[in-house]
Homo-oligomer: A and B are copies of this chain.
Amino acid sequence: MISREDMVALDAADALAPLRDKFELPDDMIYLDGNSLGPVPKGVSERVKDVVEVQWGNDLIKSWNVHDWMGLPQRVGDRIAPLIGADQGEVMACDTTSINLFKLLAAALELRPDRNVIIGQADNFPTDNYLAEGLIRLTGGRHELRLIEGDDIIGAIDAAEDSVALVFLTQVDYRTGYAQDMAAVTKAAHDAGALILWDLCHSAGALNVSLNAAGADFAAGCSYKYLNGGPGAPAFLFVAKHLQDQVQQPLSGWHGHAAPFEFERSYRPAPGIVRQLCGTPSVLAMSALDAALDVFDGIDMSVLRAKSQVLTSLFIDLMEKRCGGHGFTLATTRDQTRRGSQVSWHHEMGYPIMQALIADGVVGDFRSPDILRFGFAPLYLRYVDVWDAVTVIERVMLEQRWDKPEFHLRAAVT
């Protein structure tokens, strides 16, 4: 039987353990919601203060040159690139995930003018499908968004034959934590003559995402979850090098122009990834993200991924051993190769249970209709945190601490 002492021993042997000191974490909290909003990396507050008071405050408009604010989105993109298996010049930090997905959807569909099907999953994060709907509506309904129930994406691609223009998937399911096999699905899409677009929101920064090894075409994701860039931090997008100059995205703003400060009358896309830019980026938000990425310096993503797998496996084991009789049903796969960095459980009292856990310092979140989500960010979580979280969960269940009226009141954001 595993004990807390075993967890202490695992922490002592963990090469990543020192990284926890690079974060500002509240003392009285076990934070298992880094899959929703990462905590503050040390150095971010100082960087933002410097940007406000020195760069903006003293250097004002000159900062676009002196501090190279113009180059910031690509510099940040180049720092994200190695975390997702991309090369330099293939990633841009910009806009939001939703907007970046719109750009890439439009760009991809233009490359397959004779095909009209977008294959997605019903369980894609909703905004992904909403954006596809919006694009299809805007362009006159020529395309069909075909949403697959379940995980047999490859079967659906094969069945659609040569009508498939694009396969558009969330790599890690936001509710169940199921992780797609990026290499296999990408190959199936390409074998069918289709392109692929990956939403990396729930994988970037926790999994060893390998876009180029898989031969992926397009990807986008947010930086406020496992990349810890702050609430609503700038998103990123990826376009494989060989496609960059073939595509023209429709949000053709001046920052994506070949010569934005020539103020030409017609749009002329910049070469490479730069044409994916649109308007003026928030320098404050982009600088906070840049500072946040320092914690990834020198990290081997496969080591990070391995720790994530052990954390989630231990959590499943301990929950089943210690909370097995309390009505939780595992929503996440036991196959750790197909598991993101989260573990989810169905429970009919999921909402009040999560509120009781948060009140007792274990912060996860709830997703309708009945899912409790626990994210395990391997950068800053300890093995003892897994133990201690299960201890709190066990107490909440044994003592029915969730059965209070205030825990049933739904907040605006769950």
Q: Which 9 A-B pairs have the closest CB atoms?
A: A96-B279, A98-B253, A134-B252, A98-B279, A231-B283, A127-B254, A64-B413, A130-B267, A282-B285
Number of copies of this kind of chain in the complex: 2
Q: A63-B231, A133-B266 are in contact. Are A45 and B39 (CB under 8 A)?
A: no
Which chain B residues lie closer than 8 Å to A367 at the CB level? 263
Kindly state whether residue A13 has any CB partner on chain B within 8 Å. no
Which chain B residues lie closer than 8 Å to A261 at the CB level?
A: 368, 412-414
Contact (Cβ within 8 A) A99 B284 = no
Segment of A53-61, A211-219, A338-346 in the binding face: A53-61
Q: Is the CB of A52 within 8 A of B288?
A: yes
Q: Does A1 contact B (CB under 8 A)?
A: no
Interface segment among A137-145, A300-308, A385-393, A396-404: the answer is: A137-145
A residues touching B (Cβ–Cβ < 8 Å)? Answer: 24, 26, 29, 31, 33, 36-37, 39-40, 44-45, 48-49, 52-53, 55-58, 60-65, 68-70, 95-99, 102, 106, 122, 126-127, 129-131, 133-135, 137-140, 147, 222, 224, 230-235, 248-255, 257, 261-267, 278-286, 288, 358, 363, 365, 367-368, 411-414
Question: CB distance A253 to B133 under 8 Å?
Answer: no
Complex CA–CA separation, A24 to B59 (angstroms): 12
In the complex, 25 of the A-B residue pairs with CB atoms within 8 angstroms, ordered by the A residue number, are A48-B284, A56-B230, A63-B231, A64-B412, A64-B413, A95-B95, A95-B99, A98-B251, A99-B99, A126-B257, A126-B263, A127-B279, A130-B253, A131-B251, A133-B267, A134-B250, A134-B251, A137-B250, A137-B252, A230-B282, A230-B284, A235-B279, A263-B367, A263-B368, A284-B285
A414–B262 Cα distance when bound, in Å, is 9
- Residues of B near A127 (CB, < 8 A) are 253-254, 279
Most chain B beta carbons < 10 A, residue from A65, A69, A99: A99
Contact assessment for B230 and A283 in the assembled complex, using a CB-CB cutoff below 8 Å: yes
Q: What B residues does A286 contact at CB under 8 A?
A: 232
A26→B98 contact, CB < 8 A: no
Expressed in whole angstroms, the Cα–Cα distance for A257 and B279 within the complex equals 23
Given contacts A99-B253, A140-B139, A252-B133, contact A264 B126 (CB under 8 A): yes
A137 CB contacts on chain B under 8 angstroms: 248, 250, 252
A60 touches which of B37, B96, B233 (Cβ 8 Å): B37
Least Cβ–Cβ distance between A197 and chain B, in angstroms:
16
Task: Flag if A36 contacts B53 (CB, 8 Å).
Answer: no
A278 contacts B48, C-beta separation under 8 Å? no
Q: Chain B nearest CB: distance from A211 CB in Å? A: 21
The smallest beta-carbon distance between A75 and chain B, in angstroms, is 14
The answer to whether A45 and B52 touch across the interface, beta carbons within 8 angstroms, is yes
Q: A279–B52 Cα gap in the complex (Å)?
A: 25
Report if A138-B250 is in contact (Cβ < 8 Å); known contacts: A58-B26, A133-B266, A363-B61: yes
| A353 smallest CB distance to B (angstroms) | 16
Interface centre among A33, A140, A224, A253 (most CB of B within 10 A): A253
- A284 → B minimal CB distance (Å): 5
Q: Given A26-B60, A45-B49, A263-B368 in contact, is the A65-B411 Cβ separation under 8 Å?
A: yes
Which chain B residues border A57 with CB–CB below 8 Å? 24, 26, 39-40, 45
Partner of A61, one of B56, B102, B279, B365: B365
A56 touches B278 (CB 8 A): no
